[in-house]
Amino acid sequence: MKKTSISRRKFLGTAATVGAAGVVAPAIITGCSSGKAKVFKPVDLGTFLDQAPDGPVLKAGLIGCGGRGSGAAINFLNAGPNLQITALGDTFRDRLDRCREGILKQKGQVVPEENCFVGFDAAQKVIDSGVDIILTATPPYFRPEILAAAVAARKHIFAEKPVCVDPVGARSVMATALKAKEMGLTIVTGTQRRHQRDYIGTYNQIKAGAIGEIVGGNVWWNGLKLWHRDNDPSWSEMEWMIRDWVNWCWLSGDHIVEQHVHNLDVLNWFTGGHPVKAVGMGSRQRRVTGDQFDNFSVDFVFEDGRHFHSMCRQINGCAPNVSERLQGAKGSTNCQNLIQDLAGTEIWKYPYPADAEGKENPKAMKPAMDQEHVDLVTSIRNNQGFNELENTAISSMVAIMGRVSAYTGKEVTWDEMMNSDMKLGPKVFAFGPVDIPKAVPIAGEAYVPPAPGQKT
Amino acid sequence: MKRFLIWFVPGFIVGILLMVGGGKALDKTSTNDYCVSCHIHPAADMSWKRSVHYETQSGYRVACVECHLPPKGHGYLWAKGTTGLRDLWSYWTRDSASFNWEDRSRLEVARGHVYESTCIKCHENLFPAELTKEGEDAHLYYKQTKKTPDLHCINCHLNAGHYMEGYTHGSNKTFGSVSSAPKEIYKEPAKVTSHNSFTELIPNSSISFRMIAIPGGKFKIGSSDDEPFRRNDEGPVKEVEISPFFMAEIEVTWDEYLAFYAQTSAEGRSSDTEGIRAKQPSETDAISGATPPYGQPDQGWGMGQRPAISFSYHAAETYCRWLSLVTGKTYRLPTEAEWEYACRAGTETPYFFPGVPKKFEKTGLKARLSKNDTTIINSYVIFKTNSQAKTQTPDRVKPNPFGLKNMLGNVAEFCADWYRPDAYSLYEEEALSDPKGPESGEEHVVRGGSFMDMAGALRSAARDYTRTEAWLKTDPQIPKSIWWYSDCFNVGFRVVCEFDEKTGKL
């Protein structure tokens, strides 16, 4: 039995987060290990590598060759020496070709034709193609199944957030995460703030008590409209939905799950817990296609009664704000790079590296989307078993809890989510019409006008 | 100094000897052979040898003390000392042939002598690669709720250390597919036009059961302040009038329940998480019945004429709606007043037979010393003293004066009323006929006591109630079943059939 918790603690600031157990052993009986103290130690940023260490060739297969998947493939190849993309899978040939071309143009690597898989069964074929690592950035709906299959085949994984769109998927991923942990697999999940050096530097300050106990806060993703695809008469409804996936709840989880999960994940990370109750509201004002809202406002409550407010919007021409703010008993922080006292005076600032002109510049810091792949490959090559999948499953479930509350207008609890059999998506999965309710949800009960002549 | 050495050196040597000897003695008294040398239970030895913990995949043989004592450093010595003393005491003072070993392997008893810390010590990894989907859900549920002490590994893995015939771990899809009932299939329900006892026939099944005509009348509900074992919710005593009705002679049997299950059981399960509570279907809707149970709802005691158990209150109500539909009569659960009226059958004493509770106690030191005679209660009631820790068939007991069997004991029975401790004081004074209890509530009334109860809880006036959350505590399914209780197997029900005196309609 091999203990890896110390090195992992140095590696990333996960020691104080949920479930940082540190024993790697594949058997059913792991038996008899001594206590695993979860003591917080500040992360030494010196251990952050700009490049992953060298080692034998690691082959990765990419499932989901859209924009983010293609980007993740390049991020991965940039992470260190001896890294290859050897298989691609997507529902659509044109997306796969574009991605394959990008890899060739930018990194000079040719993905062999026999390892290019198209269709709904592409994922399993990529997993079975002899790769060491699975990179996946499909619409989130597909994530739980792909993760389960990849872990069953003992692959290391980079998976984009969110990792599920409904409670059934969330629980499946939680179990997959724990299985992977016992196998010692490395899993990085696209919640890149946890790989961002300024966030981690700030996290260390907060854990050391810079703002005292956290008493409340806000998280925001108030941003622009994302993309949409208009229907094409040559497409089936299924094809249109998948190509237009960020606008359909069953595929994306709605934007509170698909995008705002980043900020909710920071809330969970910094507080070391997660909300257990949500009362939310939201609506659809300017979204063009699909069945989703374009704004949510949710009051999240922790077990101990602390309230945190979450707000997200995808509408152009409104006040933008993508950030977090946590209030402590002694001060506040934006979680990213700044700590203020109660009077609002700056008491700490993250020291960014200097740029070419010698000025402190956040842009001189390794971008988090690259850093997460450096961390992925480093953990695999050093056999560190870094695994953040369970955290991301919990953060995704928190976002789902907020969505369900806003859709229904009801208070929704963590226990209800953990006991829910809600599973989104059609029962039959094939190109053609998609058999799901497509109406935009309306919360609460309608006012029923009195019959004519009747007094109110 | 010399004086010190004289005392110190021998003391030191004795101390070392005690440590070495003590350690040896601990080891010696912890071997399987040593356990078996005193514990006179060949059945337990045999079942251990047939269990998965004897022939393990890894070749490791799990010893008696590994499950029946906590791990070293977790109260091992204390537990070894106390259980050792208890064993010695039993060995010298009690006859091992009088022990009910089967009872000791029931879940709630077994929880007392199987240490969860030991399970977790070896089974540290609850998510092995080969874990099934059902296992994932169950272990996630365990992980979420393990802060509460209620959930023990053996809630689901009771057969891990000792083989149990027919133990099912998982969704029991074949449940109810074999019935012990006779084969004649009834086409029509019984035709009844007068208030006389009759035999109901369930159409499209081979099942029949007796319905006893209960005459109308007045009685005093509750118990007087001086009744022994009385609790406050049994008063104030009120005089109540009850209209004539029919009541089943016996508690609903497995044969009867399985007829319902076979004709209505469904796979589908629904969720409340989108805020849409499952709507009660109206009377005329086709009835969608129970989903398959998880595990063995009859507890492995057998079915047939034994009372059905482990199903939910919702299932009992659905059964009544179904029975009404297929027989064209009005079947339902009895009201609490109807139940007590039928149970008392004209008596005003603690039981419908002669005697007082404390003369019937057989368990406990004082009761054992006082030579209580349980002959009378034994002939009428299945309770803790004579039940062998399980339900029994109705032919074991004599009926009450109305002809009803097992009103007290065997299984407790659901009533239609919501439970409130002060329910009787809420009865409307002017119209004390056929009271229906509080208009709303959280839990329903349960009456009659069960095979697990002592004489004091089996009085005609004793009241109890459902405990929905606790009774579903260890259901590992997500969501939890609305049809089966995972943690309640001593409650059943009895149907009543309405009778309209004016029209003669049932």
Which residue of chain B is at minimal alpha-carbon distance from A417? B273
Which of A30, A172, A175 comes nearest B125 by C-beta?
A30
Q: Could you list the beta-strand ranges (E) of A192-330.
A: 214-223, 277-283, 295-301, 307-314, 321-328
**Is residue B141 scored above 90 in pLDDT?**
no
**Is residue A25 scored above 50 in pLDDT?**
no
Q: What is the pLDDT of residue B267?
A: 46
DSSP state string for A398-432: HHHHHHHHHHH-S-EEHHHHHT-----S-SS-SSS
What size, in residues, is chain A? Answer: 456
Q: What is the pLDDT of residue B71?
A: 85
Q: What is the pLDDT of residue A262?
A: 97
pLDDT tens, position by position, B56-96: 777 788 888 888 888 888 888 888 888 888 888 877 887 77
Ranking A296-305, B44-53, B236-245, B414-423 by mean pLDDT, the lowest is B44-53
DSSP H helical segments within B41-125, as ranges?
Answer: 42-49, 64-68, 76-93, 101-104, 107-110, 116-122
Q: Could you list the beta-strand ranges (E) of B299-425.
A: 331-332, 412-418
Segment A103-111 mean pLDDT:
96
Ranking A28-32, B31-35, B80-84 by mean pLDDT, the lowest is A28-32
Of chain A, the end-to-end C-alpha distance in Å amounts to 74
Asked if A422's CB is within 8 angstroms of B144's CB, the reply is: no
Q: What is the mean pLDDT of chain A?
A: 89
Cβ–Cβ < 8 Å for A7, A31 = no
**b/e map B203-229, b = 16+ CB within 10 Å:** eebebbbbbbbbeeeebebbbeeebeb
A210 touches chain B (CB under 8 A): no
Asked if A29's CB is within 8 angstroms of B123's CB, the reply is: yes
Whole-angstrom Cα distance, residue B24 to residue A42? 47
Asked if B127's CB is within 8 angstroms of A178's CB, the reply is: yes
Whole-angstrom Cα distance, residue A275 to residue A265? 11
Question: A with B: how many residue pairs have Cβ under 8 Å apart?
Answer: 89
DSSP at B471: H
Q: What is the pLDDT of residue A294?
A: 96
Whole-angstrom Cα distance, residue B409 to residue B390? 11
Max mean pLDDT range (B169-178, B205-214, B268-277): B205-214
Band (B336; pLDDT cuts 50, 70, 90): very high
Measured between beta carbons, the chain A residues lying within 8 angstroms of B141 are 418
pLDDT tens, position by position, A383-433: 989 999 999 999 999 999 999 999 999 999 998 999 888 999 998 889 999
Segment B187-200 mean pLDDT:
91
Alpha-carbon gap: A207 to the closest alpha carbon of chain B (Å):
25
Asked if B274's CB is within 8 angstroms of A404's CB, the reply is: yes
Asked if A28's CB is within 8 angstroms of B57's CB, the reply is: yes
Higher pLDDT: A145 or B67? It is A145
pLDDT tens, position by position, B392-444: 999 999 999 999 999 999 999 999 999 999 999 888 776 688 999 999 999 99
Band (A7; pLDDT cuts 50, 70, 90): very low
Whole-angstrom Cα distance, residue B59 to residue B212? 60
**Is residue B263 scored above 60 in pLDDT?**
yes
Q: What is the pLDDT of residue B270?
A: 37
pLDDT tens, position by position, B144-154: 776 556 788 88
Segment B352-379 mean pLDDT:
75
B122 touches chain A (CB under 8 A): yes
Alpha-carbon gap: B362 to the closest alpha carbon of chain A (Å):
44
ipTM of the complex: 0.72
Which of B124, B127, B480 comes nearest A175 by C-beta?
B127
Asked if B124's CB is within 8 angstroms of A30's CB, the reply is: yes
A416 touches chain B (CB under 8 A): yes
| Bridge partners for A118 per DSSP | A90
Q: Which amino acid, A346?
A: E
- Of A31, A34, A43, A35, residue with least CA distance to A7: A43
Which residue of chain A is at minimal alpha-carbon distance from B141? A418
Band (B370; pLDDT cuts 50, 70, 90): low
Band (B159; pLDDT cuts 50, 70, 90): confident
Alpha-carbon gap: A101 to the closest alpha carbon of chain B (Å):
37
Higher pLDDT: A358 or B282? It is A358
DSSP at B213: E
pLDDT tens, position by position, A338-382: 999 999 999 999 999 998 888 988 888 888 999 999 999 999 999
Whole-angstrom Cα distance, residue A17 to residue A177? 14
Whole-angstrom Cα distance, residue B265 to residue B315? 11
Segment B439-466 mean pLDDT:
94
Alpha-carbon gap: B101 to the closest alpha carbon of chain A (Å):
30
Asked if A26's CB is within 8 angstroms of B136's CB, the reply is: no
- Of A89, A96, A85, residue with least CA distance to A59: A85
| Bridge partners for B252 per DSSP | none
Q: What does the radius of gyration of chain A's CA atoms come to, in whole angstroms?
A: 22
Measured between beta carbons, the chain A residues lying within 8 angstroms of B272 are 416, 420
- Of B441, B483, B447, residue with least CA distance to B465: B447
Which helix (H) or strand (E) segment holds residue B385: the answer is none
Q: What is the pLDDT of residue B397?
A: 94
Q: How far lies A343's CA from each of A140, A327, A340, B320, in Å?
A: 42, 12, 8, 68
pLDDT tens, position by position, A65-85: 999 999 999 999 999 999 999
**Single pTM value for the model:** 0.70
pLDDT tens, position by position, B125-134: 889 888 888 8
Hey, of B121, B130, B273, which one would you mutate to test binding to chain A, going by the most A CBs within 10 A of its CB? B273
Band (A1; pLDDT cuts 50, 70, 90): very low
Measured between beta carbons, the chain B residues lying within 8 angstroms of A405 are none
Alpha-carbon gap: A28 to the closest alpha carbon of chain B (Å):
6
Q: What is the mean pLDDT of chain B?
A: 82
Which helix (H) or strand (E) segment holds residue A237: the answer is helix A237-243
Phi first, then psi: give them for residue A105, nearest 5 degrees: -65, -45
Measured between beta carbons, the chain B residues lying within 8 angstroms of A155 are none
Q: Are strands A277-283 and A307-314 parallel, antiparallel or unpaired?
A: unpaired
A144 touches chain B (CB under 8 A): no
